[in-house]
A and B are shown apart, each in its own frame.
Chain A
Amino acid sequence: MRITQGTFSYLPELTDEEITSQLGYALGQGWALSVEFTDDPHPRNNYWDMWGLPMFDLLDAAGVLHEINACRQAYPDRYIRVCAYDSRRGRQTIALSFLVNRPAAEPGFRLGRQEGADRRVRYAIHPYALDRPAGTRYGQS
């Protein structure tokens, strides 16, 4: 199941040129960019691993694209996203975040049901990938 998280996730995969122009837009807005990766695709997983520190004071997207490619090379079968942080006072939040890499095969989610008192049902989604230990969830690395 193709995971749709972040901006542009319903569109076809962005090419490097499209990513570059999106990064250029973010830099033009004065947002700081950072690259993060994970192998836990649960939508409520906020804690992705950081690929290096956030990049401040950049003018050109080429440097960010280089970091993205370095991350792709190191973790070809993880989810990788780019976050653009808006540091303006009163905002101070992620302004834009989109996936730039995803594993070749995405097994999707299991919908779990738990029956409680009074026949009440609680639902939970569980990524199939999480059944395997961290680091081996999508292929070898």
Chain B
Amino acid sequence: MTRPGFALPRPGPAPGGEDTEPVVPEPLADDATVDLTAERAGSGVGEILDALESDLVGLQPVKTRVREIAALLLVDRVRSRFGLSAGPPSLHMCFTGHPGTGKTTVALRMAELLHRLGYLRRGHVVSVTRDDLVGQYVGHTAPKTRDAINRAMGGVLFIDEAYYLYRAGNERDYGQETIEILLQYMENHRADLVVIMAGYADRMEAFFASNPGMSSRIAHHLEFPDYSLDELVAIGELMLREQRYRLSAAAEAVFRDYLARRMTQPRFANARSVRNALERARLRHANRLVAADGTLAKDDLMRLEPADFLASRVFGS
């Protein structure tokens, strides 16, 4: 292939010489030891796990599983130093849970975690829904799906409400084609791509029932539990702290009462409902200050009062 006279002279030894072999680090000796603590500190994974612990309230089963995955990847890294390669583990995941339980947030954290551990090269998240994957006419779906997958290479492909990909009862739906392409990439590009699917538990169940191949290729099924009242209050306080607000002592009790009432109502969306409630409280807070029309201290601008919550229609009944 490289005929003399047709190649530019290259500095260094001739191609095909002994020195062009790729440099493989020598595997450690059988009796060598590795400091796992140093390895862990070097990867910076501890910070992410700590951030996960402090920023996300509740979600114990999810946190446990994330820790397990982190531990597995860390041990795999150390194993590879001894030449004990086991191939990249399958890390495709499925997040199920009710609305507002933090599926998207955890997916973002997961991408960063996998990146720090060296499993993903970039650690970005490409978030897609059915519209981004499924085409509208014959021959449209495959390029569209491949385009989305290629954009996610080296990172995480996050498919929100994945069950919409498959429409039972419509044989001519192009969703099936998307699922087949996805399966192929999930199997062949394990080292390049992590697919995370998210959706509500019952509908994901139906989705997997009609696509058994998909279910078996996803190693980790994570169930996001609903938040308890205490956890919701903690989430609310965390959100307020981030937005530089605080509750007055009286408002704390009212806020708790508000959440307890809101939980029993239809269309309750966990943390998302908490955020919406706080958004509305901010509106009323601003309105109250404008109506009062006096001089304001810094504390007045930060403090939410019971009146800001009591005006809600939740207290109407």
Residues of chain A at the chain B interface (Cβ within 8 Å): 2, 4, 10-13, 17, 52-53, 55, 57-64, 66-67
Contact = CB atoms under 8 A, between A and B. Distances in A.
Contacts of A13: 1-2
A11 B150 contact: no
11 contacts: A11-B7, A12-B1, A12-B2, A12-B15, A17-B22, A52-B143, A55-B147, A59-B122, A63-B192, A66-B189, A67-B146
Contacts of B172: none
B151 A57 contact: yes
Contacts of A59: 122, 124, 151, 153-155
Contact of A66 (B2, B7, B150): B150
A17 B192 CA distance: 14
Given A2-B6, A11-B10, 13 more contacts: A2-B1, A10-B7, A10-B8, A13-B1, A13-B2, A58-B150, A60-B154, A62-B192, A63-B146, A63-B149, A63-B192, A67-B146, A67-B150
Nearest to A17: B22
A62 B154 contact: yes
Nearest to B16: A12
A52 B144 CA distance: 11
A63 B150 contact: yes
Interface string B82-126: 000000000000000000000000000000000000000110100
Given A2-B3, A11-B10, A12-B1, A63 B15 contact: no
Contacts of A66: 150, 153, 189
> What size tier do the contact residues of chain B reach?
20 to 34
B2 A62 contact: no
A60 B151 CA distance: 7
A62 B6 CA distance: 31
Contact of B153 (A12, A52, A53, A58): A58
A17 B6 CA distance: 23
A63 B192 CA distance: 9
